Structure formats: structure tokens, C-alpha cells
Amino acid sequence: MPTTTVVHLLRHGEVHNPDGVLYGRLPGFRLSELGHEMAIAVAEHLEAHDIVRVIASPLERAIETAAPIADSHELGIHVDPRLIEAGNFFEGKRVGVGDGALRQPRYWGRLVDPFTPSWGERYQGIAARMTAAIDDIRRDVRGHEAVVVSHQLPVWIARSKLEGRRLWHDPRTRECSLASLTSLHYTDDELVTITYSEPAADLVERAARRAGA
């Protein structure tokens, strides 16, 4: 009888970031009030699922997003450093168009190679650590489901690697909104399908409206 296993890759909820910096791996960036609402919405969406393990990046926003899911299934949260946000040279700086670090010529040398990329952790390295973590988790929860809380770029790179697509990309094309689920469905040890859902879509729309106000 084939065994079905599901590993849900969950991007964390909205972060409190009043200065609009690229926070990356910096400590102290926690969920906003709306971000906590997003985490609760995902927990409610997954309440009836056969979740037996919840694993998170070591950053606060990921652990806070994992908490309602772990609580609803009476589980602890396992922390895996391989799920951490991608390293980025511009961490702690504003990088918005028109008012950020990208306007300053001294930083332009960091932008010359979008394929590796030259401004941060190599895409191949992100893919290697994420897929290794996913494989370990899949084996640990065989026949059940796990929730893995990470960050937009690592989730997108993992999906691209698993789908056999190139890793360099236009960030605007990522299908990985706040509090979204990229779900990996396995039959025995074979990945058979990847699905995408947005359990907190209405809250994400509210965040977008607020950001554009």
C-alpha cells in the first residue's frame, strides 16, 4: 500500500518593520498584529490535518508563525537553522526604489550578477540546505504531515529546485505571499505534486492596502 506524506512549506506572516528595512537575518523583527492574525488563520486552515511535526527557522517571525499551529496540534516547535532567511549584503538597509541603498554608486558593484547572486547567499546553497532539510523532515514524518516555517526566498528556491526550474529569477514573479503554503505531496519517496494556497489571503490583501496607503 503506497504511503502518502505531505510537507507544507509555510512563509511567515507580516513583520513589524516601521522603518522599511531589509531585515534579513537580523534579530528582533517579530510579527505585527496582523502577522499574528495570519498565523492563526493558517492554524485554523490546518486544524483537521494530520500534522505530527512543526519545524521553524530560528528567526523570531518564523517561530511566532509556527506557534498557533503547534498549539492546535499539541506539539512543540523544532528549530532547524537550515530553514533560515537567505543571507543578504543589504540587510539592515532600505532598498526601496528612489530612497534606498540602491541609489548609492558605492553599492552598485553588488548588483552585477543576478544569477549567483552577487548581493547575497548563492541560490545553489539555499537550494541545497532547504532540500536537505525537507528530505530529513519527510523521512521523519513518513505517512503523516509536517509544517515547515521559513521565508519567501528559501521557500521559492526550494520549490524551483524541486520543480526542475532555473534558480535565478525576477523576485516579482515569486508565488509565495505572506502566510502562504507551498505543499509537497509524496507517494512513498516520490514527490508527485506541489500545490499552493493562501489561507490568509484576505489578511494579506489588508496588509497590501495598508502598505499602499
In order along its 213 residues, the chain shows pLDDT tens digits of 889 999 999 999 999 999 889 999 999 999 999 999 999 999 999 999 999 999 999 999 999 999 999 999 999 999 999 999 999 888 888 876 556 656 777 766 677 778 888 879 999 999 999 999 999 999 999 999 999 999 999 999 999 999 999 999 988 899 999 999 999 999 999 999 999 999 999 999 988 887 765
The C-alpha cell of 14 is what? 507580516
The C-alpha cell of 109 is what? 558593484
Tell which residue, 66, 79, 50, has the closest CA to residue 145: 50
pLDDT at 79: 98
In whole angstroms, give the CA distance from residue 180 to residue 204.
9
pLDDT at 97: 58
The number of residues in the chain equals 213
Superfamily of domain 4-85+122-212: Phosphoglycerate mutase-like (3.40.50.1240)
- Give just the sign of the alpha carbon dihedral 110, 111, 115, 119: positive
What DSSP character marks residue 149? E
Beta-carbon contacts of residue 102 (< 8 Å; ≥ 6 apart): 95, 108, 111
**pTM for the structure as a whole:** 0.93
In whole angstroms, give the CA distance from residue 177 to residue 173.
11
Summarize the chain as % helix, strand, coil (round to 5). 40, 20, 40
- Give just the sign of the alpha carbon dihedral 13, 192, 129, 114: negative
pLDDT at 39: 98
3-state secondary structure of 184: strand
